[in-house]
């Protein structure tokens, strides 16, 4: 099993909590780390934007990316949210065992 971190950015803490709880209930993730305030600078529709956002890091199996992406897209308020995956090539064995027992 390959573990991955999935990064997602949203505009509100409430949305981050709501979607994270839904993913936990469906056993698609083992954990969600919610970083309540990041300051983002980015280009959107040809203009530089600057605003506070919320960053979420999901801990899960790589094989669940598409299911998680689908759930986020159905529920989130952003038109084009960041949903990206970073595979983990070295993970503490007890952590992998816990994750494997926790998610589908």
Reading the block at residue 56, the tokens are 């979420």
Whether 71 and 8 have beta carbons less than 8 Å apart is answered as: no
pLDDT digits (tens, 9 = 90+) for 35-61: 999 999 999 999 999 999 999 999 999
- Which residue in 60, 68, 4, 66 sits closest to 29, CA to CA? 60
Residue 50: give the domain boundaries. Answer: 3-102
Whether 17 and 34 have beta carbons less than 8 Å apart is answered as: yes
pTM of the predicted protein model: 0.94
Using the Cα atoms of residue 14, residue 19, residue 20 and residue 26 in order, give the sign of their dihedral: positive
Q: In this structure, what CATH number is given to the domain that contains residue 76?
A: 3.30.70.120
Task: Give the number of domains in the chain.
Answer: 1
């Amino acid at each position: 099993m390959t573990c991955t971190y999935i990064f997602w950015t949203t505009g509100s803490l409430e949305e981050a909590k709501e979607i994270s709880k839904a993913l936990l209930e469906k056993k698609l993730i083992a954990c969600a780390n919610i970083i309540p305030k990041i300051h983002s600078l980015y280009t959107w529709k040809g203009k530089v934007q600057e605003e506070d956002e919320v960053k979420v890091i999901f801990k899960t199996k790589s094989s669940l990316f598409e299911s998680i992406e689908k759930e986020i897209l159905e529920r989130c308020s952003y038109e084009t949210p960041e949903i990206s995956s970073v595979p983990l090539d070295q993970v503490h064995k007890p952590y992998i065992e816990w994750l494997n027992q926790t998610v589908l």
